[in-house]
Structure 1
Amino acid sequence: MENTNKPQQNKFGNWVKTSITARMLMVGFLVIILLIPLSFINSLITERAFRQSDVVNEINEKWGENVLVYGPILKIPYKTYTETKTYNEKTKTFFTEVETHIKNVYIFPESLNADVNVDSKTLKRGNFESAVFTTTMDFSGHYIPTNLTSKGIKDEDIIWDKATVILKTSNLKGIKSEMLLKLNQNTYSFQTNFNENSTQNSDYLDVLESGFINPIDLSSKNDAPFSLSMAFNGSKQIELIPIGKTTTMKMASNWADPSFIGNYLPNDETKTITKDSFNAEWKVLHINRAFSQQHLNKIPNLNKFAFGTKFMVMVDEYQKSERSAKYGFLVIGLTFLIFFLIQTLSKINIHPFQYLMIGLALIMFYTLLVSISEHSNFLKAYLIAGSSVIVLITLYSKSILKTLKFPLFIGLSLSALYAFIYVIIQLENYALLVGSVGLFLILTIVMYVSRKIDWNNG
């Protein structure tokens, strides 16, 4: 029995060593096996990204979150009346009782101009950092003489001496200084209005309300100009709701990667973005939005009409690492393909264990990349991790292939491959195009080299 099985075993072993098909199956199987640790690498990157997100949110919560300003809005109380008729059985007559109710009308300014200056910086906690900013927002504009006859409100029913100005914001905690409203010749301070906040705040904004406005400042004959300055600590984004019949906003910042968000984009002719700053201007007319300048009883939720700028990190370190890891299958597959072609063309035997060691070295690139990028910038981490892996595989292949030309070719190929992937990661609009062209060229080279292989041999 031993003599019978031994030739069969030798035949199978020789087939595995010499057959191109067997080597292809073996390489393919190893690539699939290496997808398991590669998936753990992706999980590690995701876990670290979530950790970073938690730290960033904690920093932003303490420093100041996104800034949304809704106002200033003129709040004028007025009287309404209800009549109740009661029939008196004794006198056989109806008794009419009039009850007075106090309601409010909310009036938006005729013009609203905002001049916004943003100074951004980074805050660090451990290995993580968050982009935050300090902004100064200077508002100016004017109200026109109030005429509420179209709303069915008589002038004698308006309570002028109880009028106030409402200001709503998403970042009450981030306000840095006292806010003073200058209306005509008088100045008014603000305080938090909990009652307004609890009964009418359906948009989850905090409400500030001024003291009572001097009726002289709301003359029925002249416009009422106003100015207001606000300073915030904030993060993520700055937005303004265009409540002015004509609303303009100018924004300048030292931020290099703005993302303009909301219903309205800045004017192209006034927008400039450089490598370390940007300037933008918006102009929104009343015909550009679907709401009026006067509202009875309730301030409407107009958050969907907000516009502004998101101060975003285009691709942070973990996003870059994640995008790099997505090409892990390509890197392992192409590297194994290079070794397979060298083995097939040169008749040098490469053991499956050696393929496995090379694959694990390629996977170690991503753990090095993630860990180093937490303490340095992505480019430096990519260079250190890439160089380490390339040198390791080149020296290891020197011991396998016994010549110098093949290891040098492998080192150059890996260098070109990692450089190609780095370029794709940095690109945004042209990533798909460059990646497709690069893969096409790689396929062309492989097809050209493999034409010399005798595929009929095994």
Structure 2
Amino acid sequence: MKTIMDELEKSQGFMTWLKESVTVKLIFIGGLILVLLIPSLMIQGLINERETRRDEVDKDVSTTWSGSQLVQGPVLVIPYKRQVKEKVDNRETIKEVVENIYILPDALHYKAVINAEKLHRGIFNTAVYNTQVKVWGDFRTELSKLSITPSQLLPAKATLAFSISDLKGLKANPVIISGTQQLQAEPSFNEKGLFANGLMARINLTGADTTAIPFNFTLDLKGSQELSFLHTGKTTDVEVVGNWPTPSFIGRYLPDYRSVTDKGFTARWRMLYFNRPFAQQWAADDTLVSRMQTHDDALFGVKLKLPVDDYQKTMRSSKYGILIILLTFISLFLTEMISKQRIHSFNYVLIGAAMVIYYTLLLSFSEQVGYNLAYLIASVATIALVAVFIASLLKNKKPALLFAIILAIFYAFIYVIIQLEDLALLIGSIALFVIVSILMYFSRKINWDRN
């Protein structure tokens, strides 16, 4: 009988130790934090899924409205004859072949006026625009550099080649004016051309002064998100004016002048051919302009960015989720130890669940009202829920109020880090140092040796 009583007392003592041991409580909290990593990662996957859905909507709008537009050219193409030697049955013969000379503009000017708007598709927005791009300049030939004589040329078969990246966005057929000629543009699908989605206009240069061939035309376009240009002129001057308040200038060349206000923007570029990856004129090679590397090295333009990327900010906030949960649990544990009022382990689980659900609130509300207001709504709701829950557990409003203030400081700290991208590391490091210092101060009052 005594043995049974001893075993019962030992069992009761062990259970009491499990309930009151600080070490066991800390191990449980650490394990719970690791378990909460799983739903936190699932929420990040949900954010990625919603962002992917947004990108799909952008692509769908581009398909139905018009995609990003890239204006390329024009390039003057002049066929010429040359003689080549070839052997047939061990006999050398001379054959006449026709190839092309490709000449880039000596002076090239673009002037675009963008009228942009938001196109709504469900809860998502996409930037679309209408624009008129005026293009003018002139060509100057230097045949001697290519070792070609004027007698080799076929000027009656010359063409002007240019391109836009999405022909669906062309609202009117361009008319090219060159001297006294008015040239109708037509697709070059069945022609061996320089560009994908190319356009061409046949120009008769018979008797023309090839030292100065002017051109002038207007592209009436619609597109979405981006308007870019290809630097093909010996001197390329570009001016873009738009009503979009948050432009981003993209490509290899930044504008020499820019002005951005709440009502719109103005940007100007002036570029010389010294840093252009194309020759001014060449013969035979019709792929020079479209080769990926050289092509990408000559692109520049403007992107119509939406004012904020709520998904990117929500994702960055969610990556601090475990830090918030860790600091919350530590603060709750210190409150429990200092007030000497025990909080059951299951209540830690419920508070952890509230910390995780916070990010689904942030994501869903940010899609409706924007990130900043969504952050406020989700933070206030979560802080209020946890504070009321702790007050009911401890039967004391004072620790609950203190804990609500601590939690509010944590969320404010994360918000500041999200907003201050360039200073995030510095501010975050200083704040974490202060938090650790405060925790070290309050931890002095805890009896860590208690069983």
Contact 1:75 1:107 in 2 (8 A): yes
Instruction: Check if 1:219 corresponds to 2:209.
Output: yes
Please, which runs of 5 or more residues in structure 2 have no aligned partner? none
Aligned with 2:295 (options 288, 303, 323): 303
Question: Match for residue 206 of structure 1?
Answer: 197
Query: 1:61-80 alignment to 2 at 5 Å?
Result: 61-80=63-82
Contact 1:17 1:349 in 2 (8 A): no
Identify if the C-alpha distance between structure 1 residues 53 and 248 changes in structure 2 by more than 3 Å, giving closer, same or farther: same
Question: Match for residue 91 of structure 1?
Answer: none
Query: What is the identity, as a one-letter code, of the residue corresponding to 1:387?
Result: V
Give the number of aligned pairs. Answer: 443
Contact 1:200 1:298 in 2 (8 A): no
Indicate the percent of aligned positions where both proteins have the same amino acid: 37
Aligned with 1:237 (options 226, 234, 244): 226
Q: CA deviation at 1:86?
A: 7.4
Query: 1:37-436 alignment to 2 at 5 Å?
Result: 37-82=39-84, 98-144=94-140, 146-196=141-191, 199-200=192-193, 205-215=196-206, 218-220=208-210, 223-267=212-256, 270-299=257-286, 300=288, 301=290, 302-304=294-296, 305-313=298-306, 315-436=308-429
Between the aligned partners of 1:5 and 1:312, the Cα distance in structure 2 is: 72
Query: What is the identity, as a one-letter code, of the residue corresponding to 1:126?
Result: G
Deviations 1:323-360 (A, max 9, x none): 11111101111111111010111111000001111111
Deviations 1:186-205 (A, max 9, x none): 32121101133xx455x6x2
Cα RMSD, aligned residues only: 2.3
Deviations 1:138-158 (A, max 9, x none): 1221112x2313212211121
Q: CA deviation at 1:121?
A: 1.8
Between the aligned partners of 1:51 and 1:87, the Cα distance in structure 2 is: 65
SS at match of 1:109: coil
Relative to the length of structure 2, the TM-score reads 0.91
Query: What is the identity, as a one-letter code, of the residue corresponding to 2:35?
Result: I
Between the aligned partners of 1:256 and 1:15, the Cα distance in structure 2 is: 64
Between the aligned partners of 2:118 and 2:10, the Cα distance in structure 1 is: 69
Relative to the length of structure 1, the TM-score reads 0.90
SS at match of 1:104: strand
Please, which runs of 5 or more residues in structure 1 have no aligned partner? 89-93
- Between 161-170 and 342-351, report the one with greater CA deviation: 161-170
Between the aligned partners of 1:265 and 1:210, the Cα distance in structure 2 is: 31
Contact 1:52 1:128 in 2 (8 A): yes
Identify if the C-alpha distance between structure 1 residues 139 and 406 changes in structure 2 by more than 3 Å, giving closer, same or farther: same
Between the aligned partners of 2:421 and 2:260, the Cα distance in structure 1 is: 17
Contact 1:117 1:251 in 2 (8 A): yes
Between the aligned partners of 2:181 and 2:393, the Cα distance in structure 1 is: 87
Query: What is the identity, as a one-letter code, of the residue corresponding to 1:239?
Result: S
Identify if the C-alpha distance between structure 1 residues 43 and 108 changes in structure 2 by more than 3 Å, giving closer, same or farther: same
Q: CA deviation at 1:214?
A: 4.8
